[in-house]
Amino acid sequence: MEFLYFIAAILFAIIVYALVSYFRMKKAVTPLTQEQFIEGYRKAQLIDVREPKDFAAGHILGARNIPQTQLKQRHKEIRSDKPVYLYDQNGARAGRVAIYLKKQGYDQIYQLQGGFKQWTGKIRSKS
């Protein structure tokens, strides 16, 4: 019986953590459809938060690569007075990056819904 209480407590903690993360992300970033993203990203800072090998394989034309793993060292490369358009492969990393940037004082943060795998616009690759 104690084991069941232990499992229930762990499941409860996971659910609470997921809900808190969801609401923090929702507060930090505005999700955009591809059409909305295209309308605004040329006037903003377009940041690909994937790893360099993924960026090299293909990225949205005009994007800069600042991987999530390097963000703490490189976030000052992103201006806080201009909109920031983020994307990753499927949407999870960009949300975490948005939460971090929000904590650093950025307030115009947008994310491509579905990430790069859903993108049908122009891309550039090194191959």
Which residues make beta-bridge pairs with 111? Answer: 31, 86
Whether 116 contacts 59, CB under 8 Å: yes
Q: For the chain, which domains are there?
A: 29-124 (3.40.250.10)
Percentage with pLDDT > 90 across the chain: 73
**In angstroms, how far is CA 41 from the centroid of its own chain?**
14
> Does residue 99 surpass a pLDDT of 70?
yes
pLDDT digit string, tens, across residues 39-94 = 999 899 999 999 999 999 999 999 999 999 999 999 999 999 999 999 999 878 99
Average pLDDT, the chain: 91
Residue 57 CB neighbour total at 10 angstroms: 14
- Taking the C-alpha atoms of residue 113 and residue 59, their distance in angstroms, rounded to an integer, is 15
Strand duo 59-60 + 123-124: pairing: antiparallel
Which residues make beta-bridge pairs with 110? Answer: 30, 85
Residue 77 CB neighbour total at 10 angstroms: 12
Nearest residue to 43 (alpha-carbon basis) of 70, 79, 75? 79
Contacts of 9 (CB under 8 A, 6+ apart): none
